[in-house]
């Protein structure tokens, strides 16, 4: 397995670029996150189009050209030490064919985000660079724990995450080590068959999602099955499955680890023998703890679950 490149750790005073590569945001939605970056001793630098809005069947944070301008600035400005996405939504797929990494290749930096940002993280991993699948600057309607953000800052400062979890009745035991890939299931699914899809061979796959009807979840899992993904991976980690099923009836965001969604996934992968962890606290959930996409992770799945980078 080719060793992946970890960006250098941040120090006090370093600059963190905040950009909106997908959905539109208002200033009020980012005030708390920007203040937090300052409180931690870093300098937030706002992308020129951070608060731009462009409506074209969806409320994007600017045109494709405007969003691309910001992401290419952030990746290649030598004064920027990390890039933090304001939010997800939809729109990152528009950008990946045109992202430039000229300066980034010489001086890699951390990229932080989740949801639609899975696209950018797959793109970076194709180039050999790890990233942080963690909470965006915008806090969701269901909130974000302080620890979720603190753990992101720990990674930025060079501390690798370690997690101890309660077991889930659907877990499959095993001890395994491998490279972690994945993120939002809808985007993993959307990238299948493209040059930007994750390489699944001998990897540990993480998936999470929000707001999908159960048949849509099944369709995405079936697409992974038909693409041979489950024949290739070494293990599966399942995170938040929030607001799944009939969206009109299932609005309880506390039910972030949807039992039926988990059962559906478990049944689809029943014929495979790889270890499985259900209920990892990452995704569209309040307790959204960071993972390192491209990092080597050790899974110990017994009566308790240990996950260590």
Give the mean pLDDT per block of 10 residues along the chain (309 residues).
90 98 97 97 98 98 98 98 98 98 97 98 98 93 88 98 96 97 98 98 98 96 98 98 73 71 97 97 96 98 96
- What radius of gyration, in Å, describes the C-alpha atoms of the chain? 18
CATH of residue 95: 3.40.50.10740
Nearest to 225, CA basis, from 271, 194, 260, 181: 271
* Residue whose structure tokens are 């992202």: 99
146-150 contact pairs (CB < 8 A, 24+):
147/287, 147/289, 148/286, 148/287, 148/288, 148/289, 148/290, 149/33, 149/36
pLDDT digits (tens, 9 = 90+) for 240-276: 999 998 754 444 444 689 999 999 999 999 999 999 9
Is 5 inside any structural domain?
no
Is 137 inside any structural domain?
yes
Q: Are residues 214 and 271 in the same domain?
A: yes
pLDDT digits (tens, 9 = 90+) for 19-46: 999 999 999 999 999 999 999 999 999 9
- Structurally, the chain folds into a number of domains equal to 2
What is the spatial distance between Cα 16 and Cα 153, in angstroms, rounded to a whole number?
A: 11
- Is the separation of the CB atoms in 179 and 203 below 8 Å? yes
Strand partners, 166: 304
Q: Are residues 91 and 191 in the same domain?
A: no
pTM of structure: 0.96
Is 10 inside any structural domain?
no
Q: Are residues 150 and 219 in the same domain?
A: no
Nearest to 237, CA basis, from 203, 209, 276, 266: 276
């Amino acid at each position: 397995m080719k060793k992946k490149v970890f960006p250098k750790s941040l120090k006090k005073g370093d600059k963190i670029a905040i950009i909106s590569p997908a959905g539109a945001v208002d200033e009020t939605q980012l005030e708390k996150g920007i203040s937090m970056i300052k409180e931690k001793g870093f300098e937030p630098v706002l992308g020129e189009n951070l608060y731009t809005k462009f409506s074209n069947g969806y409320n994007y944070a600017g045109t494709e050209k405007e969003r691309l301008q910001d992401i290419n600035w952030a990746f290649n400005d030598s004064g920027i030490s990390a890039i933090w996405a304001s939010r997800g939504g939809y729109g990152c797929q528009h950008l990946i064919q045109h992202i430039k990494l000229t300066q980034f290749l010489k001086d890699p930096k951390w990229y932080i985000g989740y949801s639609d940002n899975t696209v950018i993280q797959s793109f970076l991993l194709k180039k050999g660079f790890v990233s942080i699948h963690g909470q965006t600057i915008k806090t969701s309607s269901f909130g974000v724990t302080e620890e979720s953000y603190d753990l992101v800052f720990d990674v930025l400062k060079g501390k690798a995450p370690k997690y101890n979890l309660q077991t889930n009745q659907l877990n499959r035991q095993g001890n395994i080590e491998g490279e972690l890939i994945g993120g939002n299931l809808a985007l993993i699914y959307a990238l299948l068959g493209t040059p930007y899809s994750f390489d699944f061979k001998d990897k540990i796959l993480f998936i999470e999602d929000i707001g999908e009807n159960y048949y849509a979840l099944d369709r995405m899992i079936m697409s992974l099955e038909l693409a041979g993904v489950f024949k290739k991976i070494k293990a599966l980690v399942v995170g938040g499955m929030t607001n799944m099923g009939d969206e009109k009836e299932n609005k309880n965001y506390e039910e972030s680890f949807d039992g039926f969604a988990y059962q559906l996934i478990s049944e689809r992968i029943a014929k495979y023998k790889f270890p499985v962890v259900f209920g990892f606290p990452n995704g569209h959930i309040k307790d959204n703890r960071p993972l390192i996409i491209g990092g080597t992770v050790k899974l110990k799945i017994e009566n308790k679950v240990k996950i260590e980078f």
